């Protein structure tokens, strides 16, 4: 959506910045989880626990999308049940119903009064609060792999408001009422301190376990989200095409493994250089999510205005004022960070990360537009009788007939059409989530194949074909081994952004099949013979 609203640079920036943020979070949460485990087993090195947690969550994401959802369901369930218990017990305690207690709200005004350091301190606290809220938007990422995305997104977005109100604001209010703000134990864990204050035994162990599930939940979701961002980038041809590979279970295996590698590197950095390299990574990603959120909000502001009312299925209330308020508020957070000595490095490094991405983007664009199809030329004095066609474009009948006549194929020539099952080539990378993309891609490739075969048959030619491999060149080699052609036609779009042109599929084919003519059929130009 950022791409549609603001241009390709924005789509490229949002996706890569978002991926960068989450892979750093994955490494950070692995380290945090390891520290929690050391509470029970202090003798085990932190890096061993961190690697074990990374391996466990990687296996979970690789197994199937449902396994990710199952783990997340139970992790979230434990967190919610714990917070509900805290709200119930805390309310009973504060209202004086708890044995030995009486109604007491004195902590709201005692110890220097409410806001003892002034209202300005609240603004510095907002920076921390903002980062604790990150992640609610994952529901929209996961919606692409659900059966009913509209219902899923609507339900998730609407529930975020009351969940924050009850679970977050409600529990914080109870903590403020129950505990003095200057209690030295609050720095360790306010919830553990609260349970101890109530007098519950083993509160530290119980809450340590609950916090561990929260950390694993974040690690699990972070890896899921990062891998899907890589998957989308590959679909946009802004990341290696190999990242689009999915298993039969609909899992983008390569994208998950690539994101996991970065997570493991973060764990190694935390072990080797916790104060230098690891803190650099954390700081460079700190402000990134705010940049992403601002671009998302601006995109919504623009696209909502451009979208007809009849197409607005899910409408955000308060438009455009609420969107404008969100943008102004997030810019204000960045301004506060810029004046906070402890957060200034996050702004600086975050902007540097974004600037680097923009440089990469414009270099990539320049490279793509500078593509030149310098095909080797030659002559083949043959009349083809067995023509192999490799198609990543919907070739119409008129172009087919024109090309057949141009290469002087015999009237009774046999044609073999092969269509690679590549989600970028057939367009499903932009419309299907990872769960559905394998079947959707095969189906789209089959439709393209059927259309081309129907056109050839209607012209009186003998034609058969197959849906091929993910990789165009492997598809070509496999089809050539099966069919044994004496001429090859490769049909592509003339767009210089086409992956086959950037990968020089035509040139590689001419080198591999140097003994037969390889023709390049495009939309805009006559075929080039070699």
Do both 116 and 214 map to the same domain?
A: yes
pLDDT digits (tens, 9 = 90+) for 203-237: 778 888 888 998 898 898 899 889 988 888 887 77
CB atoms within 10 A of CB 130: 17
Q: Are residues 428 and 310 located together in one domain of the fold? A: no
* 10 plus 112 within the same structural domain: yes
Residue 257: what pLDDT?
94
Question: Are residues 425 and 318 part of one domain?
Answer: no
> Which of 159-173, 379-393, 424-438 is the most confident on average?
159-173
Instruction: Quote the tokens at residue 429.
Output: 């990378």
Calculate the alpha carbon distances from 319 to 133, 165, 202, 302, 316 in Å: 22, 21, 49, 11, 6
Which of 69-73, 315-319, 434-438 shows the lowest per-residue confidence on average (mean pLDDT)?
A: 434-438
Q: In the chain, what percentage of residues exceed pLDDT 70?
A: 85
- Asked whether residue 41 falls in the same domain as residue 156, the answer is yes
Q: What is the CATH number of the domain that holds 154?
A: 1.20.1740.10
Q: Are residues 280 and 390 in the same domain?
A: no
| Same domain (yes/no): 339, 254 | yes
Per-residue pLDDT band at 529 (split at 50, 70, 90): very low
Q: Is residue 245 part of a domain?
A: yes
pLDDT at 371: 34
- Name the region of 75 (left: φ>0; alpha: ψ -120 to 50; beta: rest): alpha
Rg of the chain in Å (alpha carbons): 29
Contacts of 421 (CB under 8 A, 6+ apart): 441, 442, 445, 467, 468, 469, 470
Judge if 147 and 262 occupy the same domain.
yes
In a domain, 433, yes or no: yes
Burial class (CB in 10 A: 0-12, 13-18, 19+), 17: buried
Strand, helix or coil for residue 110: coil
Q: Are 422 and 284 contained in the same domain?
A: no
pLDDT at site 258: 93
Tell me: the pLDDT tens digits for 229-265?
A: 888 888 777 888 788 777 777 788 899 999 999 889 8
**Do residues 455 and 400 make contact, with C-beta atoms less than 8 angstroms apart?**
yes
Which parts of 273-409 fold into alpha helices (H)?
Answer: 277-286, 288-306, 321-339, 344-369, 397-406
Q: What is the CATH number for 454?
A: 3.40.50.620
In the structure, what pLDDT confidence band is assigned to residue 111 with cuts at 50, 70 and 90? confident
Residue 528 in any domain: the answer is no
Q: In which band, very low, low, confident or very high, does the pLDDT at 88 lie, cut at 50, 70 and 90?
A: very high
Higher pLDDT, 242 or 279: 242
**Residues 87-103, mean pLDDT to the nearest whole number:** 88
| Domain coverage including residue 291 | 2-363
| Contact by Cβ (8 Å): 515, 378 | no
Q: Is 527 part of a structural domain of the chain?
A: no
Task: Give the pLDDT score at 299.
Answer: 92
Residues 418 and 390: beta-carbon distance below 8 Å: yes
CB 285 within 8 A of CB 353: yes
**Number of neighbours of residue 449 by Cβ within 10 angstroms:** 20
- Last-in-domain residue among 363, 397, 432: 363
Taking the C-alpha atoms of residue 286 and residue 334, their distance in angstroms, rounded to an integer, is 11
What is the token pair recorded at 401?
């007939």
Write phi, then psi, for 464 (nearest 5 degrees). Answer: -145, 175
Specify whether 358 is located in the same domain as 408.
no
Q: How far is the C-alpha of 39 from the C-alpha of 41, rounded, in Å? A: 6
Confidence check: pLDDT of 502 > 90:
no
Residue pLDDT, tens place only, 356-405? 998 988 886 545 544 333 333 344 556 788 899 998 766 666 777 777 77
380 occurs within a structural domain: no
Is residue 529 included in any domain, yes or no? no
Q: Would residue 373 count as lying in a domain?
A: no
Report whether 285 contacts 21 (CB < 8 A).
yes
Residue 269, C-beta contacts closer than 8 angstroms, at least 6 positions apart: 27, 277, 278, 281
Residue 516 has pLDDT above 60, yes or no: yes
In a domain, 267, yes or no: yes
Query: 52 with 184, same domain?
Result: yes
Q: In this predicted structure, what is the pLDDT of residue 378? A: 40
Task: State the average pLDDT for the chain.
Answer: 81
Structural domains in the chain (count): 2
* Same-domain status, 429 and 354: no
Half-sphere exposure of 344 (CA within 13 A, CB side): 5
Pairwise pLDDT comparison (475 vs 282), residue with the higher score? 475
Q: Please tell me the predicted confidence (pLDDT) of residue 144.
A: 64
The pLDDT assigned to 301 comes to: 92
Task: Give pTM, 2 decimals.
Answer: 0.70
pLDDT of residue 394: 63
């Amino acid at each position: 959506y950022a791409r549609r609203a603001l241009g390709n640079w924005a789509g490229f920036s949002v996706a890569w910045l978002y991926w960068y943020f989450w892979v750093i979070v994955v490494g950070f949460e692995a380290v945090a989880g390891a520290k929690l485990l050391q509470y029970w087993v202090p003798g085990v090195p932190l890096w061993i626990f961190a690697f074990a947690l990374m391996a466990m969550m990687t296996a979970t994401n690789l197994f199937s999308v449902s396994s990710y959802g199952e783990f997340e369901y139970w992790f979230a369930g434990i967190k919610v049940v714990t917070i509900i218990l805290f709200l119930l017990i805390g309310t009973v305690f504060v209202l004086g119903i708890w044995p030995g207690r009486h109604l007491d709200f004195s902590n709201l005004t005692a110890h220097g009064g409410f806001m003892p350091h002034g209202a300005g301190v609240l603004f510095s606290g907002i920076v921390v609060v903002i980062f604790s809220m990150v992640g609610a938007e994952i529901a929209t990422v996961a919606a692409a792999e659900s059966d009913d995305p509209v219902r899923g997104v609507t339900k998730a977005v609407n529930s975020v408001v009351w969940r924050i109100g009850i679970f977050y604001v409600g529990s914080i209010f109870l903590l403020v009422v129950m505990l003095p703000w200057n209690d030295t134990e609050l720095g360790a864990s306010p919830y553990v301190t609260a349970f101890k204050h109530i007098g519950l035994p083993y509160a530290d162990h119980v809450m340590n376990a609950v916090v561990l599930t929260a950390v694993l939940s974040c690690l699990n979701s972070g890896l899921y989200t990062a891998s899907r961002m890589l998957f989308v980038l590959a679909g946009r041809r802004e990341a290696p095409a190999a990242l689009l590979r999915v298993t039969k279970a609909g899992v983008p295996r390569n994208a998950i493994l690539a994101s996991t590698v970065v997570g493991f590197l973060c764990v190694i950095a935390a072990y080797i250089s916790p104060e230098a390299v690891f803190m650099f990574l954390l700081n460079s990603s700190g402000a990134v999510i705010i940049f992403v959120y601002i671009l998302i909000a601006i995109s919504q502001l623009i696209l909502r205005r451009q979208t007809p009312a009849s197409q607005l299925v899910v409408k955000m209330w308060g438009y455009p004022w609420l969107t404008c308020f969100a943008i102004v508020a997030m810019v204000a957070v960045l301004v506060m960070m810029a004046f906070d000595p402890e957060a200034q490095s996050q702004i600086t490094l975050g902007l540097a990360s974004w600037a680097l991405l923009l440089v990469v983007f414009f270099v990539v664009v320049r490279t793509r537009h500078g593509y030149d199809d310098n095909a080797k030329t030659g002559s083949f004095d043959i009349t083809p009788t067995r023509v192999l066609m490799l198609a990543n474009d919907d070739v119409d009948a008129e172009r087919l007939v024109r090309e057949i006549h141009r290469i002087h194929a015999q009237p009774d020539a046999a044609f073999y059409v092969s269509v690679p099952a590549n989600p970028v080539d057939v367009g499903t990378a932009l419309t299907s989530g990872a769960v559905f993309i394998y079947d959707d891609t095969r189906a789209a490739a089959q439709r393209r194949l059927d259309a081309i075969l129907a056109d050839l048959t209607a012209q009186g030619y003998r034609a058969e074909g197959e849906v091929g491999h993910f990789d165009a060149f492997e598809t070509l080699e496999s089809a050539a081994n099966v069919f044994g052609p004496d001429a090859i036609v490769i049909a592509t779009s003339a767009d210089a952004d086409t992956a086959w042109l950037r990968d020089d599929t035509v040139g590689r084919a001419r080198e591999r099949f140097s003994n037969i003519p390889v023709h390049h059929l495009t939309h805009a130009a006559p075929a080039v013979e070699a």
